[in-house]
């Protein structure tokens, strides 16, 4: 598994914003359709804070990584969790991610197989 993705996902699974903070800059762009793109470290961390608050439990497990070149990757993830007050669910996510030369995330976009669990 690509080390940057492995380390990022380990920090994401910690649900600790201080661990995640090191991955983002003011130039980072995150897009999770159907929402609009957001950019900047402060807004990205606020997004993750809001996501973490919606869950009793959440975990991501990467299954495959494809190198697209220029420090850009496509990877598949299984997401397991419980939204507050709801039954557990499982979902599959496709992610496009690009890193800077210094290893920070420039761009990240997630695409969910099933969006029904979020309604």
**Residue partners of 47: CB distance under 8 A and separation at least 6:** 30, 32, 38
Yes or no: domain 3-114 corresponds to CATH 3.10.450.50: yes
89 vs 17: CA distance, rounded Å: 23
53 vs 55: CA distance, rounded Å: 6
User: 3-class SS at 9?
Assistant: helix
The side-by-side arrangement of strands in the sheet containing 88-99 is 38-39, 29-31, 105-112, 88-99, 72-83, 55-69
The domain segmentation of the chain, as residue ranges, is 3-114
Here the tokens at position 69 are 């070149």
Reply yes or no on whether the pLDDT at 118 is more than 70: no
- The pTM assigned to this predicted structure is 0.89
Reply yes or no on whether the pLDDT at 109 is more than 90: yes
Tell me: the pLDDT tens digits for 21-72?
A: 999 999 999 998 888 999 999 999 999 999 999 999 999 999 999 999 999 9
Average pLDDT over residues 85-90: 85
């Amino acid at each position: 598994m690509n080390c940057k993705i492995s380390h990022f996902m380990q920090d994401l699974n910690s649900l600790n914003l201080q661990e995640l903070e090191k991955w983002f800059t003011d130039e980072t762009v995150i897009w999770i359709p159907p929402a609009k793109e957001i950019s900047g470290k402060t807004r990205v961390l606020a997004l993750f804070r809001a996501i973490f608050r919606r869950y009793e439990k959440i975990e991501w497990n990467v299954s495959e990584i494809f190198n697209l070149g220029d420090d850009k990757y496509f990877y598949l993830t299984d997401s397991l969790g419980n939204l507050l007050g709801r039954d557990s669910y499982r979902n599959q996510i496709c992610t496009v991610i690009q890193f800077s030369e210094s290893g920070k995330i420039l761009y990240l976009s997630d695409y969910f197989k099933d969006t029904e669990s979020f309604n």
